[in-house]
Structure 1
Amino acid sequence: MTPVVDAVVVDADVADRIHGGWLGRIAGNMLGKPVEQGEVWTRARIDRYLRRAGALPLTDYLPEPADAADEADLRPEWRDCVRGRIDGSCRDDDVDYTILGLDLLTAHGFGFTTEQVGQLWLLRLPYLQTFTAERVAYRNLADGLRPPLTATRDNPYQEWIGALIRADVFGLTSPGRPRRAAALARRDAVLSHTGNGVYGAMWAAALVAAAFTAPDPRAAIEAAQAVIPASSRLARTVRRVLSLHTAGLPWSDTLDVVGQETAQFGWIHTVPNAAVITAGLLYGDGDFSRTVALTVRGGLDTDSNGATAGAVAGVRCGAAALPPQWAEPLADRVRSAVFGRDGARISELAAETVELARAAE
């Protein structure tokens, strides 16, 4: 049964949870960034990497690679993302869009239009820092198209994960209000996505919003399920993960089953990545470190999945209770390609988010 979730008063505890959501998103993104290439860094290979480095169970950022073959296949930014080397966060689109969403709500309020989302992209986001569906939509905007055509012309990425990674800020500014968060995320998502690509954004925003009041991760997932069409492939896949968890299958077996059932989708598609996020949250069982570790070990779009699961887990535990090995290396700083935001303080971004959430009460 879908849990009842209600809007909450944005008091000091909720403000701490919003801060935790920001820290969790950035930490989860940093954890997954070195191995973000799903066809190379499979679940089995990620675990081999960790075993070679003596880092299982994983309770901290990735260790440095133990052999040259692994090092050659890591993302170029890996040296700034592994334990012992982190000094503030790396720049990444998973965080750029959260910051850009914050700027959107500050500039236009909660009544923003999809056209205003596009205008902000053109003004504040460099074209070469966009990818897949977002780059197509950006090009279509520059060509003079308006939504929803920006999402559909020459866009083979319409159901990929891009809109989902943009959605967290709508949940962080709608604590306890998953339907409101989903409606905001949909308005943003249709600039570049259709179908399950849009549903993924709605689901992720609702998941973050529900995390403020749901009694456990499963209840938050069920609340997020309620905002998307039950017959969609996304909803059916998330239900499948929920049922396998209920049946007592181990985490790895659950991902094996769902991986086979979604094998026709690529590693950046919304549906299989939502399954990895769902499994990470369920089997993480409310523990921040276990949640982000399992999610990243699940493979596919590791940095995006780690970011979303980290945001949910960070909201649930709050900034004050976030394990220090995740928060302290970030040094309260974030790199960003969003114009005017590079080097922003994470605590200040969280404070801005708190003010928006209070304005919406």
Structure 2
Amino acid sequence: MKRMKLFMISILVCLGATANTQDGNGRAAPPVKKIPLSVLKDKIKGGWAGQTIGVAFGGPTEFRYNGTFIQDYQTIPWYDGYIKKWMDEFPGLFDDIYMDLTFVEVFERVGLDAPVDSFANAFANAGYVLWHANQAARYNILNGVNAPESGHWLNNPHADDIDYQIESDFAGLMNPGMPNVASAVSDKIGHIMNYGDGWYGGVYVGAMYSLAFVSDDIQYVVTEALKTIPKESDFFKCINDVIVWHKQYPNDWKQTWFELQKKWTEEVGCPDGVFVPFDIDAKINAAYIVLGLLYGEGDYTKTLEISTRAGQDSDCNPSSAGGILGTMGGYDNIPEYWKMGLAEVEDINFQYTGMSLNKVYATSYSQALEMIKRNGGRVDAHEATIIVQTPKAVRFEKSFDGSYPVQSVAVNQNLGSAYTFEFEGTGVVLRGGAHKESDALPDHTFNLELLIDGQKVEQFRMPTNYTTRRNEIFWRYQLPKGKHTVKVIVTNPKAGYQVRANDYIVYSDAPVDGSAVHTVRHSKK
């Protein structure tokens, strides 16, 4: 395999080659990697710094380029003070960092064996704003649907979204050279908010971080980490395609981008992305991470530029790519140009957390040392000995299996006390939310009932509070194929407050001809 030059002098001299030995019975023992503690600490620091740099760099382009890439002639700004500007003016940009930090804090407070409820409750009750799968999971947990059901696609229409992928960095950073342990951490925490391809995104990113501690070969890290993902999954197939196309078009990342666009950008799950260019699906955005890593060839600038210019979630994707590359080369080898202004924010706590970068550098390092010892390794005064793991595939699971979006119907009206419509298919999602007419009004929580074909199937709440909101009015999958009547009843309407429906998406058990004509009746009662 061709070794790629990095932005740093090869660290193999200081790390030494991985040793393969035999046990007492003559069998091959697991490979061992010895890493000086100073190098290990620098790598962890580089991982956290790299993702912070990446998310700030891509901030102004996030979801502004959907179904297209950012042209070469368009300059993406970067200057001294840029990171602090975003931290001061839009702290919500750093959701992929503060979600990571929430989980790091739980490990620190409760211990490395903390139960899943500790993580779920910590982020569900945090003060920060969330979106998509994270917000759907938060709503579920606050309303009695606990992990892992909170992330399952039947309870979370955003199950395949990018959420755990963007916040899984901690799992790899606390498990250097141990991708399977990172996967076990991701199994526990990633299923709080995701399932299927959405979960695989976090497993894969965590594995790339883990392997970046023990290899400076980007192609090796990308391909070896993919062994943690089941081959029958769409996520595996998508990322494997990027690897194949990179070999086919080694000097043209845009050609590979076009191939991805043609094959992998049909959104099925996320109600905000069906039938429109917006695509927050984990696998396509993970493909853009890999696009940056492979075509960036270890150059920090090229890596961030490509993973950002690919579009869609173009702050989170360079964040992951920059963090993985930062782990591989270490903090000291991140070019000074990209560390401009970093020092001035390293002691500032990310909003809604008790952690700054300097604190998480130290905390994550301490947790990594403990995980090394827990998994057969050793920590001496100046060196860590890691038992390097061969990646193993996690179990196979698939979201939205047998469900295909076939129609979107505009509604654009307030529900009043009740709303009725008919559709033909196997599932439906009614998009909308609860609102108050003035910010001066206190929040109100609506109580609603859902009836399908005359049978009450759900009672639920819709707060006007944005932090605890329900992302969609309702969703239902796996219905018998045929015509269905839906009625939504608002049991406690209140003047000055509304539940507004935007549209509904109809699902069936097979895709249909795009030219087909459908007639749908809907009425307000």
TM-score for both structures, normalised by structure 2:
0.59
- Call closer, same or farther: CA 1:99–1:6 in 2, change over 3 Å: farther
The 3-state SS of whatever aligns with 1:16 is helix
C-alpha spacing 1:255/1:41, structure 2 compared with 1 (3 Å): closer
Could you tell me which residue of structure 2 aligns to residue 356 of structure 1? 367
Tell me the residue number matched to 1:58: none
Written as runs of structure 1 = structure 2, the 5 A alignment for 1:220-299 is 220-249=221-250, 250-265=252-267, 266=273, 267-299=279-311
In the TM superposition, what is the alpha-carbon distance from 1:213 to its structure 2 partner?
0.9
Contact 2:182 2:203 in 1 (8 A): yes
Structure 2: distance between partners of 1:110 and 1:223: 26
Give the aligned residue type for 2:150: T
Q: Secondary structure at the residue paired with 1:238? A: helix
Partner of 1:208: 209
Distance across 2 between alignment mates of 1:176 and 1:260: 35
Q: Secondary structure at the match of 1:94?
A: helix
Q: Which residue of 2 aligns with 1:347?
A: 358
Looking at structure 1, the residues matched to 327 and 318 of structure 2 have their Cα atoms a distance apart, in angstroms, of 14
Instruction: Output the CA distance in 2 between the equivalents of 1:31 and 1:304.
Output: 10
Is 1:322 equivalent to 2:324 in the alignment? no
Identity, in percent, stands at: 24
Give the 3 Å change call, closer, same or farther, for CA 254–180 of structure 1 in structure 2.
Answer: same
Quick one: structure 1 residues 335 and 31, their matched pair in 2 at CA, closer, same or farther if it must change by over 3 Å? farther
**1-side partners of 2:259 and 2:64: how far apart?**
17
Contact 1:276/1:295 (CA < 8 Å) preserved in 2? yes
Aligned to 2:351: 337
Please give the alpha-carbon distance, in whole angstroms, between the structure 1 residues aligned to 2:200 and 2:352.
25
- Work out whether 1:22 is the aligned partner of 2:65: no
Shift of 1:170: 0.8
Aligned to 2:112: 110
SS in 2 for 1:129: coil
> Cα–Cα, structure 1 residues 6 and 204, in superposed 2: closer, same or farther, change >3 Å?
farther
Contact 1:8 1:175 (8 Å CA) reproduced = no
Q: Find the residue that maps to 1:329 and give its secondary structure.
A: coil
Q: Residues 111, 315 of structure 1: CA spacing in aligned structure 2 closer, same or farther, 3 A cutoff?
A: same
Aligned twin of 1:313:
325
2:73 to 51, 57, 67: 51
Bigger Rg, which one: 2
- Which amino acid is the alignment partner of residue 181 of structure 1? A
Q: Give the letter aligned to residue 363 of structure 2.
A: E
Corresponding position of 1:140: 140
Which of 1 and 2 has higher RCO (CA within 8 Å, sep 6+)? 1
Does the 8 Å CA contact 1:178/1:223 hold for their aligned counterparts?
no
The structure-2 alpha-carbon separation of the partners of 1:87 and 1:274, relative to structure 1 and needing over 3 Å to count, comes to closer
Cα displacement (A) at 1:339:
3.4
- Check the 8 A contact 2:178/2:210 in 1, yes or no: yes
Give the Cα separation in 2 of the matches to 1:39 and 1:288.
22
d(CA) in 2 for partners of 1:31 and 1:161? 19
Contact 1:27 1:310 survives alignment (8 Å)? yes
Given that 2:52 and 2:97 are in contact with CA atoms closer than 8 Å, whether structure 1 keeps it comes out as yes
Checking the alignment, whether the CA contact within 8 Å between 1:5 and 1:177 is kept in structure 2 is: no
Q: Deviations over 1:26-57 (max 9, x none)?
A: 001111110001555831xx22xx625xx4xx
Shift of 1:263: 2.2
| Structure with the bigger percentage of helix | 1
Q: Deviations over 1:192-242 (max 9, x none)?
A: 111001111111100111111123111111221111111111111111010
Letter in 1 for 2:140: N
**C-alpha distance in 2 between matches for 1:172 and 1:271:** 21
Give the Å deviation of 1:300: 1.2
- Distance in 2 (alpha carbons) for counterparts of 1:321 and 1:228: 30
- Say which is worse superposed, 84-93 or 13-22, in terms of deviation: 84-93
Instruction: State the alpha-carbon separation in 1 of the partners of residues 308 and 32 from structure 2.
Output: 30
Pair 147,7 (structure 1): closer, same or farther in 2 beyond 3 Å? farther
Counterpart CA distance in 2 for 1:299 and 1:5 is 39
| Structure 1 portions without partners, runs of 5+ | 56-61, 64-81
Uncovered stretches (5+) of structure 2, i.e. residues with no partner: 2-17, 19-29, 268-272, 274-278, 373-525
Which protein has the bigger strand share? Answer: 2
CA drift at 1:340: 2.8
Distance 1:221 1:275, change over 3 A: same
228-237 vs 243-252, greater mean Cα deviation? 243-252
Letter in 1 for 2:161: W
Q: Distance in 2 between matches of 1:141 and 1:223?
A: 35
- Could you say which residue in structure 2 is the equivalent of 1:66? none
Give the Å deviation of 1:154: 4.3
TM-score, normalised with respect to structure 1: 0.84
Deviation (angstroms), 1:183? 1.4
Q: Residue 84 of structure 1: CA displacement?
A: 4.5
CA deviations 1:125-151 (Å, max 9, x no partner) are: 22x511111111111111122222212
> What SS does the aligned partner of 1:223 have?
helix
In structure 1, what is the equivalent of residue 515 of structure 2? Answer: none
Contact 2:47 2:327 in 1 (8 A): yes
User: Per the alignment, do residues 339 and 87 of structure 1 end up closer, same or farther by CA in structure 2, a change over 3 Å counting?
Assistant: closer
Task: Give the residue type in structure 2 aligned to 1:358.
Answer: L
